[in-house]
Structures are given as structure tokens and as C-alpha cells.
Amino acid sequence: MTDRIMNFLRDTRPEGPCLVVDLEVVRENYIRFAKAMPDSRIFYAVKANPAPEILSLLAGLGSNFDCASVQEIDMALAAGATPDRISFGNTIKKERDVAAAHARGVTMYAVDCEAEVDKIARSAPGARVYCRILCDGDGAEWALSRKFGCEPAMAIDVLDHAHRSGLVAYGVSFHVGSQQKNPRAWDQALASSAEIFRTLSYRGIELKMVNLGGGFATRYLEDIPEEGEYGHEINESIRAHFGNRIPETIIEPGRGMVGNAGVIKTEVILVSQKAQDDIRWVYLDIGKFNGLAETMDEAIRYPITSSRGGDATPCILAGPTCDSVDVMYEKKPYPLPVSLEIGDELFIGGTGAYTTTYSAIAFNGFPPLASYVI
């Protein structure tokens, strides 16, 4: 909670639950990433929070943009990014969306199979493609499935196919898992990447780039490594695996860029028990369907503060909808002040990323999460 956010909430007193993002924190995050990894270009993952004010700030600071859809490409362009600063990073694209991106001047695309290469060869001829490889997400709070990427052995064929299809076989990407707290997690994927570079080089195809993805943790409840530590470990791994043929690198921070810049203000609607002497249930005006989707399986545990002091007691924390799955913390109840009352405000930190856009359009008739960027 920054002073700017506190002052905004005090002066504006917005009705209903809302996210407030402090652009000064986003600016500091950008500068920290740039310092920690001076040899990498930064591609902000727009999906984390596409608020126009955030995109404009980052465009002005020199950021590039990782976009998941044509709509996100248009948002990045509207914020002042030029097409050469945009990567269409979704490996799952309709061919007409590839054509739309191509028409807007976008020249870099993610792939993870030959069928996707074929779409790009037809609809964005001459483009650069990078192939995403599978990577195990050990150490991440939000481990990735096998949804994106292929086995490294197959990536060689995919990039070879791209080359033979008239595209620029440009590099390799991977993602070590969101909210990754182990800086050494990048090492194994970098070893696989270097092997792909070498194999294709024997075939006369010189890859140029490694996309290190995202996964840079924001601060929730537990201490996380500083950006400088990520940079150090990653550079060590790159030198170890690539020797003196250091590739271009890019990073795609999303949560790490905006997560700690945002605070959600919420109101306690009800405090109750199911039976005498039973655990307390605390119901908020925000839940899984209007901003806190990432509490799914209690994966992410946000820091929550209130103006109440005194002893705390474990509570089950739930959202306002008539949906029984709209419960944030139940398996591991959340300690909240005993003195907490209906009508109190709570502040949920670390919520600048993956909250507003996940919000349901009208579930139970409730509006999506309001957002203020200051």
C-alpha cells in the first residue's frame, strides 16, 4: 500500500470494490528490470493488466509488448508502441488473426508446432518465429501445464520447417511458471535452448534469440528474490550453456511489472458462523468472479490488511456471489482481526496483475472489478 494509493482511497472514497494501481511503482519495477537484466529487451505481458495508462507509461519508458490477441496488439499500438516492439506471443492463433497482426506490421510470432508455422507462412510471410519448448515449472506457485510448447526435439523440426517455409527461424522461448521463486529454474530450459541452437546451426540455420518468458515473482506473503538475483543467475546459465555465442534475450514480465503496484479495496459484507463456536466466515464484496480468480485452489495468498488492530483469528474468506466455489481461503484459513465487523474495509495487496481482466462480465449481476490507475 503506497501513500499515493492510500491518499487516493481516502480522498475519492470509491463505492464498491476496486483496484487502484500506482504508476510510480510500475515505473520503479520497469527500471529495476532494466537494471537487473541490461542485456535483455523487456516485453511487458499485456494480459497481466492492459490498463491504457500502464501501457502508455511503459511505451514511453521504451518497453516492448507481449500480446496474446489482436485486441491486445491494438491496445499496445494505441499506447504508442510501434509494431516492431510487439510480439504476438500466443502459440494458439486463428489464421485470420495472424493476417490481422501482419497487416498491422507485427513481425514476431510464437509457435509450438508445424501447423501454426503453416498459418504464419501463409498469412505473415517473412515473419520471425520463435518456438516455445516445454519446461517443468518446479518452484512456481502457479505451475504451468503442458498446454504451451513442445518437446525440445520437436522444436528443432518446427524451426527447420519454418526456415523451409520462408520464415525467419528466430529463436526459442519457454516459461518457467508464474510467480517462480527459484532463480535457478531457468537453467535447464537454457540448456535445452542451447542444444536447439547448436543442432540447427549444423543445418545452417542460425537462431538469434532466447525468450526467457515471465515468471518473475511479485511480492505476496512470502519473501521473493530481487530482480538482480534473477539477472545474475540467468546470466550465469546463459554463459554456461551458450559459451561465447551469447544470444539476444528478451523477458516477458507481467506479474513482476504490475503485481505489487496494485491494491484492491473491499468491504466486509458479513461475518458469521455455521454453528456455535464454529470457525468464522468472512464474506467480502470481491471474490473469485470479480477479481480474485487466482485464489483458485488457494494458489496465491495475497497479503490482506485492515485498520483494525488486536488479536487475529483464522477465518474462511469468501466472495459475494451465490456460487459455492466462490471461496478464496478455506483449506488454509486466513487470520483476520477478531474485532473485524460488517462494513469494515480490507486492503488486498499484490493485486495489480491478473485481477481486472479475469473479472466476470456480470456473474450474479455484479459488475466487473472497477480499476483506477493513478
Nearest to 259 by CA among 16, 14, 54, 38: 54
Among 84, 151, 226, 229, binds its own copies (CB under 8 A): 151
The answer to whether 322 is a known catalytic residue is: yes
Q: State how far the Cα of 130 lies from the Cα of 158, in Å rounded to an integer.
A: 9
Among 3, 202, 244, 324, binds its own copies (CB under 8 A): 324
Sites for its own copies among residues 77-96 (CB under 8 A): 89-95
Q: For residues 86 and 65, is the Cβ–Cβ distance under 8 A?
A: yes
Among 9, 37, 50, 349, binds its own copies (CB under 8 A): 50
Sites for its own copies among residues 289-308 (CB under 8 A): 289, 293, 296
Instruction: Provide the greatest CA pair distance for the chain.
Output: 74
SS3 13: coil
| Cβ 147 to its own copies shortest distance, Å | 5
Q: Does 141 bind its own copies (CB under 8 A)?
A: no
Q: Does 361 bind its own copies (CB under 8 A)?
A: yes
Q: State how far the Cα of 251 lies from the Cα of 186, in Å rounded to an integer.
A: 12
> Identity (one letter) of the amino acid at 223?
D
Residue closer to its own copies (CB basis): 65 or 302 = 65
Residue closer to its own copies (CB basis): 142 or 181 = 142
Among 38, 276, 307, 310, binds its own copies (CB under 8 A): 276
Q: Does 65 bind its own copies (CB under 8 A)?
A: no
Question: What letter would DSSP give residue 246?
Answer: P
Question: Do β-strands 327-337 and 168-173 pair in parallel, antiparallel, or remain unpaired?
Answer: unpaired
Q: Does 366 bind its own copies (CB under 8 A)?
A: yes
Residue closer to its own copies (CB basis): 149 or 231 = 149
End-to-end CA distance of the chain: 13
Catalytically annotated residue among 131, 135, 150, 322: 322
Site string for its own copies, 164-193 (x = CB under 8 A): ------------------------------
Contacts of 270 (CB under 8 A, 6+ apart): 281, 282, 283, 342
Using the contact rule CB under 8 A, the part of the chain among 4-12, 29-37, 200-208, 366-374 near its own copies is 366-374
CA 351 to each of CA 70, 170, 259, 292: distance values in angstroms, whole numbers, following the listed order:
25, 34, 5, 8
Among 33, 220, 358, 372, binds its own copies (CB under 8 A): 358
Q: Is 202 left (phi over 0), alpha (psi -120 to 50) or beta?
A: alpha
Sites for its own copies among residues 12-41 (CB under 8 A): none
How does DSSP assign 313-335, residue by residue?
EEEEEE-SSS-TT-EEEEEEEEE
Q: Does 72 bind its own copies (CB under 8 A)?
A: yes
Among 1, 99, 154, 191, binds its own copies (CB under 8 A): 154
Question: What letter would DSSP give residue 17?
Answer: -
Using the contact rule CB under 8 A, the part of the chain among 3-11, 149-157, 193-201, 234-242 near its own copies is 149-157
Sites for its own copies among residues 207-266 (CB under 8 A): none
* Residues that are catalytic: 322
